[in-house]
Amino acid sequence: SQELEQSPQSLIVQEGKNLTINCTSSKTLYGLYWYKQKYGEGLIFLMMLQKGGEEKSHEKITAKLDEKKQQSSLHITASQPSHAGIYLCGADLFPGNMLTFGGGTRLMVKP
């Protein structure tokens, strides 16, 4: 089993719809990171959350970390085809800032 569980594993939405991706751990998350990976390409950094209850937004993407620092959500408002890709959450569970990643959520946005 993964130390970081992401849900859903895949998601297909109609353009303009809102969506939420979740990242959950049984351990406390120190430094929770959200990345986006376009198919066949590298990872693009989106946001980092560190404090319980923290929320950050960039354009139409909002990420939150719960008060217990064990769950994070990524919310996309009014999705567009450009949002399509694989969203990965990563957290510092090992010493030395070696990130542990969730299994990823594959997002497809239908025009």
Partner 1 sequence: DTAVSQTPKYLVTQMGNDKSIKCEQNLGHDTMYWYKQDSKKFLKIMFSYNNKELIINETVPNRFSPKSPDKAHLNLHINSLELGDSAVYFCASSQASGAGTQYFGPGTRLLVL
Minimum CB distance to partner 1 smaller for 62 or for 100:
100
The residues binding partner 1 (CB under 8 A) are 2, 31, 33, 35, 41-45, 48, 86, 88, 90, 94-101, 103-104
Least distance from partner 1 to the Cβ atom of residue 16, Å? 27
**Angle, CA of 36, 42 and 48, to the nearest 5°:** 40
Q: How far is the CB of 21 from partner 1 (least distance, A)?
A: 14
Tell the smallest beta-carbon distance from residue 5 to partner 1 (Å): 12
- C-alpha distance from residue 54 to each of 13, 17, 109 (Å): 27, 24, 27
Q: How far apart (Å, rounded) are the C-alpha atoms in residues 14 and 5?
A: 25
